[in-house]
Structure 1
Amino acid sequence: MFAKPFRVKSNTAIKGSDRRKLRADVLAAFPSLSSSQLSDLIPSKEELNVVKMFLHKGEAVTAYVLNKNPVFFEMDKTLYPTVYALWSYPDLLAAFTTWPAVLPKLVGGADLMLPGVVAPPSGLPKVLQGDLCAINLVGNRAPVAIGLVTMSTPEMLAAGMKGKGITTLHTYMDQLWAFGEKTNPPVIAHKHCDPGEIGDQMEEEEEEEEEEEVIIDAVSIENVTALLDRTASDTPDIDNLCLNVETESEGVTSATDQANDSKAHALEIVDLKEITEDTGNHQDTAEIIRTIQEQMDELLLQCFLHALKFKVKKTDLPLLTSTFLKNHMYPCCPEGRQLDIKKSSYKKLSKFLQSMQQRHIVQVKELSKGVESIAIVNWKHADLKSFTVPETATGEEMVKIDEESETLYQPPEISSYYNVSSKLIPLFEHAGLKKDATLSSGDVRSIITNYVKSNELIDDYNKNYVTINPTLCDCILEKSEYHTVTKLKWDDLFTRCLERLQQCHQVTFPGQKPIIRKGSIKPISIDVAQRASNKKVTLIKNLEVYGLDPQIVGNALQLRAQASVTMNQVPGTKDKILLQVQGNQVNHIAKLLTEEYRIPPKYIEGLNKAPKPGKKKR
């Protein structure tokens, strides 16, 4: 969450009343703290500042900084301790242990996978889904990260310790840690073993493992045989222990990480089991690696030709190469296979497109440094005309080029619901529901129908009508209707009931828990305003409601419309961003939101403000 730099809005000393409130909130969130421990974390007289910040995705976070070190941060009215606080009180949260080599992945924004959890002799800590926990390392009990557990302990064991285990929120060496004094964690021995026993335990576990990992120099293949002769690896396959690496973990200045980053360009991790499975001979390793690259090159070319011939239209050009890869090439990947450019001989998309340009299939232009677009496609090229779609090419794999790539955006599922209001509680009590219970319109109709039938309120002479009893009278009718309305049609009854319930909506992003908010969902607002000298600007807000990063949307619009884009805070809000684009760019915005991000037009307000096409001159 803090992998990228954040923007500090304010940094002020805390007031006395706010300090007392913070102490109460911390004690409520962490009742295991004693009074002396609470006084150490939130002292009465020492310097304590409140820092309000906006993260790179627009989230509003409040951090509480004690003597230059953040000790707590608050987001969505929930308090979380930082690693600085946990180093003083490592038992404040239930803790899971992982390998030291996993730490750089966590720092980069990855979540912890269950295969990366090291179970102590005493067993895993007992947690429930959504609980806050800490992450420490083998050999040191000092926490290096905190996160939310994705499943309970019994569910972890039932899953065979496979899948996503902990969603990481904050880590040692991230930007929140760097906001403090950048101290290193203390060395604290684990409770279940002595420090001297840890090395022996790791050696025993490594001896039991049958799979080995080898680092092969991709530049000098001559070293492959020497590397493969090593007897055992020091750590498990780290790539399988983490997932969901965030983009551009800027600001991490550790010399170790910088060395690893530079080394990553020259080294390729190869699973020994994949290369030499069922054989003990390493002489053919170079040939096997070439075969893997050739297979990935063929898949890359197949997806490229498939996308050009069946996905890209002439009206889409010019097309950003990153958009072409995410929205056109990845969906063409056959089911069961994974498109990974780093495993090809090209290593990068730009080099592959240069090769396609040399074959005169496409023409690529550089818009700015590092930003390229496909400008021209030779639709009559022999390779394109002769290409046919393989029968297996039906999958929609969404893969990243590298760890700094953005994942493909998927629009949320939006559903309308209703909350039981206090006035209608007597009508829903028979169904065991209380105030603020969430119901769909179908649930409401079913409950009302059961209530009417169980109380025998269907009119004897006309079954299309319902007799009004005292409960329905109080809940459904207006005061002026108490003595005049004795019956209602079924549809009228349902309509009146829904009108008196509190409307709410549920937003579900892929792979995340549903979010329920009161009221109807706010549409993305597009407005065209006039500035000085009769110049027009296009204003966009509420992108965050649909999980869209205003910064990314602004960059895309800047390239599409070739116009300047600025970001400002929406007046009267803390975490809402207003995009301002030069000129009337409603057409570009509509195409971007509806085609690229697949937002339904009913959730976009202001599409009718696009400039009207001028009359053709005769």
Structure 2
Amino acid sequence: MFARALRVRGHTAIKGSERRKLRADVAAAFPSLSAEQLCELVPHKEELSVVKAYSHRGDAITVYTRGRNPVLFERERALYPTVYTLWSYPDLLPAFSTWPPVLQKLAGGADLMLPGVLVPSRGLPQVQQGTLCAITLVGNRYAPVAVGVATMSTAEMLAAGMRGKGFTVLHTYMDHLWGFGDKAYPPTIAPLVADPVEVENTDQEDGDEEAEEQELDGNLPADPATQVDVSSLSLQEGDGCVRLTEKEAACDNHAVDTAEDENLEAQTDAEGSRTPREQMDELFQQCFFHALKCKVKKSELPLLTSTFLRNHMFSCCPEGQQLDVKKSSYKKFSKFLQCMQQKDILQVKELNKGVESIVGVDWKHPDIKSFVVPDGFSPVLDTPESKGGDGEPLYHPPDIVPLYGVSVKMAPLFQESGHKKGSILSSSDVRSIVIDYVKTNELVDETNKNFVKINPILCDCLLDKAEQDSISKLKWDDLLNRCLAQLQPFHQVTFFGHEPIVRKGKGCPIDITIAQRSSNKKVTIIKNLELYGLDPQSVATTLQQRVQASATISPLPEAKDRVQVQIQGNQIHHLAKLLLEEYRLPRKYMQGLEKAPKLGRKK
């Protein structure tokens, strides 16, 4: 469902009544959640947003985000957890395991076939057809990587000999819904109780030394007597589903098991003497000092505390770990910042009612100066071009070329060159065809070669009724301009690394306007960002950080699949700097930059 990018229609903070309704819906959909877990998932006061979007198939999707990460999504009035939620509550759904090479196919939109499902010695979870299930990987069976719906009951799966499609996959780790959040990696989650049968089987087959390592991380292989014959599996994608080859499964599984054994041993040595709460406190302080030392600039102050947490601290979190203030001793991010303020590291003030901002940072504080950035991290400038991390390409302005379509009226003129109604031509093609037509039909005026004689076809195609009796000749430039004016406008857009896209119309520039709101306040409205490959949410967030003014995204009334960005005040100066200097968009692709406020003369 999320193999391709979402079309976002709106992004708003959730209201109190909607929050209460959502909490009731979550309690009904997932009765296994305790009251405490329910309050963590749908908090009473913590930031919670609603994103209205459409999938590439046209399905209406509602995504609920907490902080930066999507935690739930709703489709056809049914609620589903994201992988971020399942990593916090791994026992929320019945879980089925598959092999690591399958994950890439699942993220690409494939469903899961039963031959790719591992049958453990303790048996499969008992589910019915239509049950919502989690899908995990061999090597880390307790950190779900996908959410799917069972296409048959457990009894039917076994009766079918573990053949056929087992699960319709809705959402996976590494898909675009996962990419909507902070793009964290699956954590290593140990099981609550190890399966003694699996331990015994492993001892018999692999020896005592390997069994000890596999007991350590809880990733124990299934009983070979009850497994599906791995040699019968093949990695093929048929009907949108997945099968697996034995060679790829063995190689990937061994690599995953070895890496996770080493990681878990290191974590056990370092963390064995500390409680989970102490570990989370240390992680918060590490990300806090890392963000202040490498991410935040003095020019960004004052900086909203929520923006500091979402855009700076989350990006400093090490791979495989997640910041969760509820699991720390602070319980609230505001209390954590108060503690840092008491140490004179920073200053926090409530500039607007109910909204706190960081107004000052002491970068010479000993705690900041003595902080050492962990291995593997490097300071990253938060510019639009550096946002191409995690494999995303850097932004390149598109190449836009005007095209022309042959209309019904102009078809007779282009018929001799083999072009029919609807043919798409460039301006040079149109020029060449018209010149060849004039020369072939000997229409160049003998007395003055700068003029072209009008024959019946040219008369019908290019002249109005009032002109048909009075005009017998046209200049070359006038003839070509009239031809282009009578053709249907198209344009071709070519994004870097993609095939050209032909669109109808002349092509809309990025439209920048200033509107008047209540109390004589002005707002800047930006439209058509999507047409140039720009993410409206990213542009709105960048502007909001730079000018410290609220920005909203709302659907564009005249276009169903596009949105507009609205930000308080006349911010054209900042917007022009962003689009022209950083995104390097040519000025010809924008209209409205002349409406920037006039700067006062310096005395």
TM-score by length of 1: 0.45
Give the TM-score taking structure 2 as reference length.
0.46
